[in-house]
Structure 1
Amino acid sequence: MSTALRSDRLAQRLKEEIDKLQQAGSLSIPQEPGGWWHQYVCPHHHTELAFDEKQVDASEFACPHGCIIEGEAYRGAWLVFKHQSLARVALQAAAVYAALGEASYAQLSKKLLVEYAEQFPLYPVHPEAQSWMLKGRAFHQALTEAIWSTTLIRAYLLLRDKGVVFDAKEQAAIDVFLGLLAESMEEYRHILIHERNNAENNYTAWLNASLSCVYAARGEQAALEALIEGQGGFKHHLSIGVKPDQFEFEGSTYYHVFVLRAYLIAAEMAQRFGIDLYAASGADGQSMRGMLEALAELADDQGALPALHDGPLSRAPYAREIAEIAEQGLAIYGIAGLAPVLREAYRQLGAAGGEQLEALLYGANDRAQVPAAARASRLWPDAGFVIGRVPGNPLSFLADFGEHGGSHGHYDKLHLTLMHPAQTLTPDFGMVPYGSPMRKSWFAETASHNTVSLDGLSQAPHEGRCVRYETAGDGKSVYAWLESTGAYEGSTMNRHLLLTGEWLLDWFQVELADEARSIEWWMHPAVQPFTGSLEERDEVYTLRIQEKDGSASVVAEQKLPIIGELVPDDGQMQLSYVLGDDSAVYHAALVESGDEVLAVHTPGDSVDPSQPLTAVLHRRSDRQADFIHVYRAGSRAELTRISAQEIEVSIPGQAGSAVRIQLTQDKGLIFI
């Protein structure tokens, strides 16, 4: 299909979407400012509430499970979605006009722009914003306002590019809007960069993006150049807000995408003055290309991005953001590995053919047909992530040992994500909207991740380290040795991950300096584990939520039902999991005297926490514990304990498959 034909087809689809909204009478801007979107979450099920862009107004808000929620906080959050939706319609109508030349869509875009410009001075600096927020006018947060403003100004610029003229009254309203917006964005940049000394904040990237749009709209090249070069500006933020290995400093995939999107908008504005930021780099080589390549490497085999630290597991607005940056990564940089990421984003949006605004604005003609090369193992030493991949083995792994991540971090050091082409088996389940109390009572806590906790308490905020990472010269294995000594006082945790062409070995060793404690190894499969035997248990697991300021005082407890005990056969637990296309993954573990292996009902993923999942909890009360587990796709592998530091991995019925592995103090796991 030619580029022109594809563009026309996309524009027609987008035109039909706009027509349906016009027919519903829903394209009138609210006179009220928006609140904080994170409060748009059911207080009972902790799922995000439904939003229908065809609604003109709303005072009742529906949960997917049938709850009807009322209240000012929910209405304020609904208004955020409504304002953002209308800004998107303004840009979409401008794009339809640019593609098809139908004047009515230019007039619609222009109408929305002028109405918002006239209303903006009437919105107060938000009196209901929370104390920690930088306050906006049209929203509680200046951050939300910055994002919203870039959509409106890009619509304005696109109309101007296509020869649309604004009369004197209309232009005067837009000039006032741009002036007020610039004043607040410049003020908040000063607060973040100079008063709070927090220039690396993801806020800063969006304040920069908003101001870049203002300066482009007003033709202020000198102001834009100063913004690019100055403290907290584009280049400085790229140097301090992104690690040298190209990952956003908080270690969150969501905020990585979030900041990258702001960078790309700033680069689009700079290009209008002949300034090329697409090739710009930070002090340690950070670049937008590098950030995009990191996402291509991190994605699972289906193209889904992992929900590392804070961020949604999946969410339609997030999928649109992913599509926006992936389209640009393919069109501008030709990064073939983004093709599956883009396809997955459009799949989540129900638009497998890419019939979205992002495709029209940014897409290259063959964007999703570019064949991606096979991906190898990868270590991000600064961000603290490692991925293991071996040719011929459908299993791969992702582990997290890096910095805590500040306010967006989780207590999850040495977390393991196990992936398969059919489905990621043990994902990080993401984060609910921040208005839900489950943000702190479950999703950030250690027990909700695939790592080790002690006594039901979460780890302290800390950073682990990668002691050893190596891939065999022939590509037949990859080994990562990760260590944590800061999770609990007097604890040393070592996770050894060895991936071969046949299986993945996970040897997690914990040593405590003082008294025995309950050492708890967690695994959270996304599907129900199958087992041949399950002994019922009438007890609960107690998750203890404590203050994270160094105090051990317990402020809350959560009870998780223990379904039963997974009884091992001759000291070896055997489980299996059926994934999306009927693929099977088999899981075996050595179970010693004194160990318990339990099935525990936990909240579901962050999309719908009310749908419980079944976790595997392997625990031991002692000063030392070895949790030795092995995974294999297609058929099972077996473990045999030879000695305290030596095991054998074998595949039943496969002659010559037995491999002996020793855990040594200096080299970690070695083949013997």
Structure 2
Amino acid sequence: MSTMPAIGEKRARFAWANDAVEHLKQEIDKLRDAGSLSIPQQPGGWWHQYVCPHHHTELMFDHLEVDASEFHCPHGCRIEGEAYHGAWLVFKHQSLARIALQNAAVYAAVKDETYAQLGKRLIVEYAAQFPQYPVHPEAQSWMLKGRAFHQALTEAIWSTTLIRAYLLLRDAGVTFNSEEQKAVDVFLKLLAGSMEEYRHILIHERKNAENNYTAWLNASLSCVYAARGERAALETLIEGEGGFKHHLSIGVKPDQMEFEGSTYYHVFVLRAYLIAAEMAQRFGIDLYACEGTAGQSIRGMLTALAELADERGALPALHDGPLAREPYAREIAEIAEQGLAIYGIAGLAPVAREAYRQLGGAHQLEALLYGAGGTAADPTPAALMPRGARLFADTGFVVGRVPGNPLSFLADFGEHGGSHGHYDKLHLTLMHPELTLTPDQGMVPYGSTLRKTWFAETASHNTVSLSGRSQAPHAGRCVHYEETDSQVYVWLQSTEAYEGCTFDRHLLLNGEWLLDWFHVELEEGREACIEWWMHPAVEPRAELRTELGPMPPLLILERELPVIGSLPSSDGSAHLSYSLGKDEVFHTALVLPGDELLAVQTPGDSIDPSEPLTALLHRRSGRKADFIHIYRAGGPAHLNWLGGNEIGISVPGLPAGSARIQLSQEQGLLFI
């Protein structure tokens, strides 16, 4: 492991660091000149309510606003109401804490007293105001209540930013007079009391120590103890029940994924761990190298993200979590920079670059605070070692990659994920270097009604549902996983999605194509409409048969989805393609007698659900179904049904890409 150079040293060594300082100064100056660096006297609410009730998009936030009573959706809606104002206040409080840290970083870089005083003023004003905030009377009953926010969780996150700003100013030689220090001390005492009380409730009363809340309560207390120089208290926190070491052992699975199976909450908990490690390092305690009882570690968690990311560095939105949003991109940049600086995990460089791309491309505070060099900030991608396949056996994810094939896949067969889980077992994400073609569409803010009526449900994922109903919460299993130099084969199974029904999804990736064979079988005496869903991120190119006139909409989860048309088959196959920048991906579906292949209009992704997408629905009514699809980049691959659970695959002009494959109920896919 390496250590991060100081901010002033970075500025002296790297041109991007100078650029970052100038950019950050300009942001601060603009806010100061607009008079928007005054802390609100009201506490914040719940940020998840900051969502348009009509379009289900997150409402816009302007950092320059001093206060707001009207809130704008990207589509022009103007929303009013106390819940929205409370959510806006969350963004404002978090923004000001970040600006305090930004001022401290700029001062550490250039020693301009203006920025030291601005940062100190925000810290002291918040410290003085904090006792005036009530323990939030409007918080929802399930929440651990905060003072400055509805949730103690939000308060813990906000407090770490503010205390890091305080510590950075102190490190840079800034002093606080006795009155200022007294306000800070009162703030730290009240905050510590709240965090310690809520840890007790969560760990000892609710018996829920593995909760992601715990990681953030620990992080907040780590900052308090570092600010007060309380080594013994920090050591007790690290070693005790629900402390850093215990949480790492129970909140992270042995395959290094956070226990809920959500990429977003994995990043969320990892960020809290890194803050706790940063505070412990101040006492010479090394948590960066700490391991849980099954080998869980910060390094392992960071490496897992590098392996899950697509070729551009974008992280998949597995289970609850956004596809993309500005605060999340900052969090990703923060942990990726540390993964590069501390552990040298080169695979995180694309992840950091993608985060900065989402933030507009400018060098950010995260690079200045945590970066160790030019790797992540350099817009030119560094050469990376090719990544192979990986089975996350404990969490239930599998990533398939084969040298020479630009297509790769990610499938989800693991545990439901609790309150942050989706009804999506055997979901398939198909990836290409230009774009993730069939992503998990992510999750809208929890205040949106679409959270539980679409985005968590089966029909919004690339898997199978029965008769318009969602799967039961359950875990599937990996029956077989095989990786060689030339192919990856995975057999995934679910027996609990629906009573009396077995799903088997077979995925075979080689240097030329990806075969997806999804077999569904119900018990004798049971029948259903068996529905195979695929949600491409780009409009499919295909011939649509619409001359039969308007088709009745589908009723899925009490939602009517318009049917745009059906896809005709020739020689028993339907042919589609997707334009992905410089490349094209070809998709062939085997359409057996009795099958129906439809184009269906659905809500859009979680960034903007109001922009509809075109989904593919391959369905068949009865007791059994075989949905057989093949994907190839650059040219089509053809499928033929040969009978007896046997198919033929052929690639025009490429005899070596052809194959005959049989599905055996006992042995899976067999080459014959």
- Secondary structure at 2:627 match in 1: strand
| Alpha-carbon distance in structure 1 between the residues aligned to 2:424 and 2:657 | 34
Q: Is 2:606 the partner of 1:572?
A: no
Q: Is 2:183 the partner of 1:173?
A: yes
| Alpha-carbon distance in structure 1 between the residues aligned to 2:14 and 2:254 | 40
Q: Match for residue 191 of structure 1?
A: 201
Deviation at 1:58, TM superposition (A): 0.3
| Alpha-carbon distance in structure 2 between the residues aligned to 1:542 and 1:281 | 49
Q: 2:598 touches 2:618 (CA, 8 Å); kept in 1?
A: yes
Q: Which letter does structure 1 place at the counterpart of 2:660?
A: R
Q: Which letter does structure 1 place at the counterpart of 2:434?
A: A
Q: 1:375 aligns with which of 371, 387, 409?
A: 387
Q: 1:312 touches 1:432 (CA, 8 Å); kept in 2?
A: yes
Q: Match for residue 269 of structure 2?
A: 259
Q: 2:533 aligns with which of 503, 515, 522?
A: 522
Q: Is 2:410 the partner of 1:410?
A: no
Q: Which letter does structure 1 place at the counterpart of 2:366?
A: E
Q: Is 2:640 the partner of 1:651?
A: no
Q: Match for residue 440 of structure 1?
A: 452
Greater CA drift, 562-571 or 446-455: 562-571
Q: 2:519 aligns with which of 496, 509, 531?
A: 509
- Secondary structure at 1:538 match in 2: coil
| Alpha-carbon distance in structure 2 between the residues aligned to 1:220 and 1:664 | 63
Q: Match for residue 611 of structure 2?
A: 611
- Secondary structure at 1:539 match in 2: coil
Show the 5 A alignment for 1:146-225: 146-225=156-235
Q: 1:98 touches 1:162 (CA, 8 Å); kept in 2?
A: yes
Q: 2:463 touches 2:532 (CA, 8 Å); kept in 1?
A: yes
Q: Match for residue 532 of structure 1?
A: 543
Q: Is 2:462 the partner of 1:450?
A: yes
Change (3 A) 1:570 1:145: same
Q: Is 2:114 the partner of 1:104?
A: yes
Show the 5 A alignment for 1:25-424: 25-351=35-361, 353=362, 355-368=363-376, 370-424=382-436
| Alpha-carbon distance in structure 2 between the residues aligned to 1:643 and 1:596 | 19
Q: Which letter does structure 1 place at the counterpart of 2:408?
A: S
| Alpha-carbon distance in structure 2 between the residues aligned to 1:509 and 1:168 | 72
Q: Match for residue 468 of structure 1?
A: 480
Q: Could you give the per-residue CA deviations for residues 98-139 of structure 1, whole angstroms, max 9, x where no partner exists?
A: 010001100000000000000000000000000000000000
Q: Is 2:556 the partner of 1:543?
A: yes
> Taking structure 1 as the reference length, what is the TM-score of the superposition?
0.96
Q: Which letter does structure 2 place at the counterpart of 1:566?
A: L
Q: Which letter does structure 2 place at the counterpart of 1:661?
A: I
| Alpha-carbon distance in structure 1 between the residues aligned to 2:16 and 2:472 | 52
Q: 1:339 touches 1:372 (CA, 8 Å); kept in 2?
A: no
Q: 1:49 touches 1:64 (CA, 8 Å); kept in 2?
A: yes
- Secondary structure at 1:626 match in 2: strand
Q: 2:14 touches 2:373 (CA, 8 Å); kept in 1?
A: no
Q: Match for residue 550 of structure 1?
A: none
| Alpha-carbon distance in structure 2 between the residues aligned to 1:107 and 1:371 | 43
Deviation at 1:667, TM superposition (A): 2.1
Q: Match for residue 637 of structure 1?
A: 637
| Alpha-carbon distance in structure 1 between the residues aligned to 2:637 and 2:565 | 24
| Alpha-carbon distance in structure 2 between the residues aligned to 1:534 and 1:331 | 55
- Secondary structure at 1:346 match in 2: helix
Q: Match for residue 547 of structure 1?
A: none
Structure 1 residues without counterparts, runs of 5 or longer: 545-556
Q: 1:87 touches 1:148 (CA, 8 Å); kept in 2?
A: yes
| Alpha-carbon distance in structure 1 between the residues aligned to 2:634 and 2:14 | 46
Q: Which letter does structure 2 place at the counterpart of 1:565?
A: S
| Alpha-carbon distance in structure 2 between the residues aligned to 1:541 and 1:196 | 43
Change (3 A) 1:656 1:243: closer
> Taking structure 2 as the reference length, what is the TM-score of the superposition?
0.96
| Alpha-carbon distance in structure 1 between the residues aligned to 2:15 and 2:464 | 54
Q: Could you give the per-residue CA deviations for residues 270-310 of structure 1, whole angstroms, max 9, x where no partner exists?
A: 00000000000000000000000000000000100000000
Q: Match for residue 587 of structure 1?
A: 587
Show the 5 A alignment for 1:7-26: 7-26=17-36
Q: Could you give the per-residue CA deviations for residues 301-338 of structure 1, whole angstroms, max 9, x where no partner exists?
A: 01000000000000010000000000000000000000
Deviation at 1:658, TM superposition (A): 2.3
Q: Is 2:509 the partner of 1:499?
A: yes
Q: Which letter does structure 2 place at the counterpart of 1:530?
A: R
- Secondary structure at 1:585 match in 2: strand
| Alpha-carbon distance in structure 1 between the residues aligned to 2:481 and 2:657 | 24
Deviation at 1:4, TM superposition (A): 5.2
Q: Which letter does structure 2 place at the counterpart of 1:491?
A: C
| Alpha-carbon distance in structure 2 between the residues aligned to 1:334 and 1:532 | 49
Q: Could you give the per-residue CA deviations for residues 363-413 of structure 1, whole angstroms, max 9, x where no partner exists?
A: 011322653210000100001000100111110000000000000000000
| Alpha-carbon distance in structure 1 between the residues aligned to 2:34 and 2:374 | 35
Deviation at 1:5, TM superposition (A): 4.5
| Alpha-carbon distance in structure 1 between the residues aligned to 2:183 and 2:501 | 62
Q: Which letter does structure 1 place at the counterpart of 2:537?
A: A
Q: Is 2:471 the partner of 1:459?
A: yes
Change (3 A) 1:594 1:5: closer
Q: 1:493 touches 1:511 (CA, 8 Å); kept in 2?
A: yes
- Secondary structure at 1:509 match in 2: strand
Q: 1:7 touches 1:99 (CA, 8 Å); kept in 2?
A: no
- Secondary structure at 2:518 match in 1: strand
Q: Could you give the per-residue CA deviations for residues 632-652 of structure 1, whole angstroms, max 9, x where no partner exists?
A: 101111001112311111012
Deviation at 1:571, TM superposition (A): 1.4
Q: 1:336 touches 1:371 (CA, 8 Å); kept in 2?
A: no
Deviation at 1:540, TM superposition (A): 1.1
Q: 2:16 touches 2:374 (CA, 8 Å); kept in 1?
A: no
- Secondary structure at 1:663 match in 2: strand
Change (3 A) 1:28 1:569: same
Q: Which letter does structure 2 place at the counterpart of 1:37?
A: W
Deviation at 1:666, TM superposition (A): 2.6
Q: Could you give the per-residue CA deviations for residues 465-506 of structure 1, whole angstroms, max 9, x where no partner exists?
A: 00000012xx11100000000100001000000001110000
Q: Please provide the CA RMSD for this pair.
A: 1.0
Q: 1:508 touches 1:628 (CA, 8 Å); kept in 2?
A: yes
Change (3 A) 1:282 1:657: closer
- Secondary structure at 2:551 match in 1: strand
Aligned length: 655
Q: Could you give the per-residue CA deviations for residues 201-232 of structure 1, whole angstroms, max 9, x where no partner exists?
A: 00000000000000000000000000000000
Q: 1:331 touches 1:367 (CA, 8 Å); kept in 2?
A: no
Q: Is 2:13 the partner of 1:3?
A: yes
Structure 2 residues without counterparts, runs of 5 or longer: 1-10
Q: Which letter does structure 1 place at the counterpart of 2:374?
A: D
Q: Could you give the per-residue CA deviations for residues 587-614 of structure 1, whole angstroms, max 9, x where no partner exists?
A: 1111111111000000000000000000
